[in-house]
Structure 1
Amino acid sequence: MSLGHQLAAWDLLPGELSPQERVVLLALAEDARSGRDTCSPGHRDTCSPGHKVLTARTGLGRSQLSATSARLVSRGLVVLAERARRGRNAVYRLLFAERERPANQTQNPPTGTDHDGQSVRTAGSLPGSSSPRKNPVARTRQAASKIRRAEPTILPPSNAPTNRLRPAPRPDLSALPDPPEWAVEAARGHHQGDDVVSGDAPVDQVPDSAVSFADAAARLGLSTGTVHRYCAPSSGKLRRVGTGVSLASVEALAG
């Protein structure tokens, strides 16, 4: 695909071509060979698309396509270099790409004179309006070269400090008020009915009115785990006193 031939087809003035003729020119320019084609230097500005290809691109019938091509040849925009033969398509040479631009586009825009005698440009004639259109491929290459010439971006190391949120400081427990006396007494002792075991006593100390879990299991002929389940509030078969089992509840269950 030759982008230069397509741009040249678009640059033709609207009054010179009908919509059908411009569509056919664009379809031919899509297969045109440019001057950079080193494989076939003698076929510059030529193309040989098939009839089915042109019909699919333009949407015209056979008769309309033939009539439009004849009008382009008569206007000197396209010339038929080789006629279609068996096994080969017709070869067209595009002449509109070599045509000079109109004089009103190449010359500088008209200027006027203000009341001080200084020249000013007339409205609608900007400096860039008369400049030729730049190839978009060249603009892409120029932008890519600027990116390559730019200095590389240096990223910070992975262990560099970041803007992470810091955890909130822990509250100062020394500033809290002292708990009431009833809370301290409740924390020191475990209340089980009328029997109270002081929190100051050792953990393995069992009061006189209670027996250990092992002794209770031996007297009842049960396992220690079963005795623990019987002491649970949901069971109620045994009553726990401190770190042991109430002797009265063991004797009542055994009797």
Structure 2
Amino acid sequence: MQHNAFSKFLKLKSAGEKIAVLTAYDATFAHLLTEAGADALLVGDSLGMVLQGAPDTLAVRLSDVAYHVRCVRSGAPDAVIIGDMPFGTFQISPERAFANAVKLMAAGASIIKIEGGLTMAPTVRFLTERGIPVCAHVGLLPQWVRAQGGYKVQGRGDTATAVREDALSMEQAGAVTMVLEMIPAVLAAELSTHLQPPTIGIGSGRDCDGQVLVLHDMLGLSAGARKRFVKNFMADAESVQDALIAYVQAVKNGDFPAAENAF
């Protein structure tokens, strides 16, 4: 499953076909998403906010993610499933990160996702050298939101160099794919062109190799003001399944994200 996941993403990138990803947390939606044509399902630590009602992702436990990975795997036996490593489960040491990543793989994850750039490169290398496929996550880092000063665009002006270094270090460490969150569209396009690992954008423009959104956001279910990079696909849909299909098609044909969804 792990090798198939990487091969699938590389094949889509080389063919110029966008990769459509959505978060999933249960068997029912996992099945619906695969029926709609999603290329991968992300069991994100976003579950802390959309399922548990927390203000951020920091309190999510490894057991929480493992539970939801098992649920998603039950509903989508053949899907590429990306399991998020929660805050505090991978920063202590590469060995601790490996032990925790193994638990998510055993629960059914195809790939595990780690936030952080240059500082996390040794850990990512340790995992990939031991058979754990890693999805890197650079740019805005929700787990680092307090250190980054809030949910703000990363990589503008002089800070673009740091984002480039983060992305390159993840590629060199062996990451098989990479989430680019809330970085300028021009920078995301540059990275997507030069990096071998397929890039999955969220708030980073249409030139990434793929896109991901939180399921609840794209169904218009999230509380508060709509984020700029989100589109409510339920607004023009007659059913949830129609909205999921519309999202996948919009990613595939390049209609989403539009210019107003980028920075």
The TM-score by the shorter chain falls in which range?
Answer: under 0.3
Q: Which has the higher helix share?
A: 2
TM-score, with structure 2 as normaliser: 0.22
Higher-Rg member (1/2): 1
Relative contact order, higher structure (CA 8 A, sep 6+): 2
TM-score (norm 1): 0.22
